[in-house]
């Protein structure tokens, strides 16, 4: 954690680590100044959301869909109400991700969340263009510009 923090990492997303089992991890992060990010899922019971939010020192990450991530045409229903529920339990930022891949989706999520995570669309683009760095950089710039325009408009 010290090496990661020294290298410029300021937060770690803890996957598959519930806060109740994260005592040592939380202590180490606190000691080095690393922020923590824990996940709330659509299936997270209401009474656990506050616990997850308390353990998150950076932001709360709402995974908006059950199952595996990837590029999807439609957003999951109920994102707004779940973000509202999380925000009623914490003042920390709530960021939404999972299966968000188009600027229209970014725009819609940004109306209710403090941040939007796009992962699979970028990972897929890198995989498709990994052997052509100039093309990869150009396409990444275009994709990120297009996605981020969803929060600017």
Indicate which CATH number applies to the domain containing 27.
3.20.20.70
pLDDT of residue 98: 83
Residue 76 is given by DSSP the state P
The CA distance from 108 to 91, in Å, is 21
pLDDT of residue 151: 82
Residue range(s) defining the domain that contains residue 43:
2-152
Query: Which residues share a beta bridge with 40?
Result: 62
pLDDT of residue 70: 47
Q: Which two tokens stand for residue 113?
A: 């969340």
Domain count, the chain: 1
Q: What are phi and psi of 58, to 5 degrees?
A: -95, -70
Return the axis-axis angle of helices 79-87 and 46-55, rounded to nearest 10°. Answer: 60
Q: Report, as ranges of residue numbers, the positions in the chain whose pLDDT lies below 70.
A: 65-76, 153
């Amino acid at each position: 954690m010290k090496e990661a923090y020294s290298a410029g990492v300021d937060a770690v997303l803890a996957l598959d680590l519930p806060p109740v089992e994260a005592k040592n991890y939380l202590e180490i992060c606190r000691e080095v100044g690393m922020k923590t990010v824990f996940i709330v899922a659509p299936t997270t019971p209401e009474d656990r959301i506050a616990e997850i939010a308390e353990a998150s020192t950076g932001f709360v990450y709402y995974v908006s869909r059950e199952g595996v991530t990837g590029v999807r045409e439609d957003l999951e229903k109920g994102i707004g109400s779940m973000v509202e529920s999380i925000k009623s339990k914490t003042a920390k930022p709530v960021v939404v991700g999972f299966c968000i891949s188009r600027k229209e989706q970014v725009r819609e999520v940004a109306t209710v969340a403090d941040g939007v995570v796009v992962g699979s669309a970028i990972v897929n683009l890198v995989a498709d263009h990994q052997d052509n760095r100039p093309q990869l950089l150009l396409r990444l710039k275009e994709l990120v510009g297009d996605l981020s325009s969803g929060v600017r408009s």
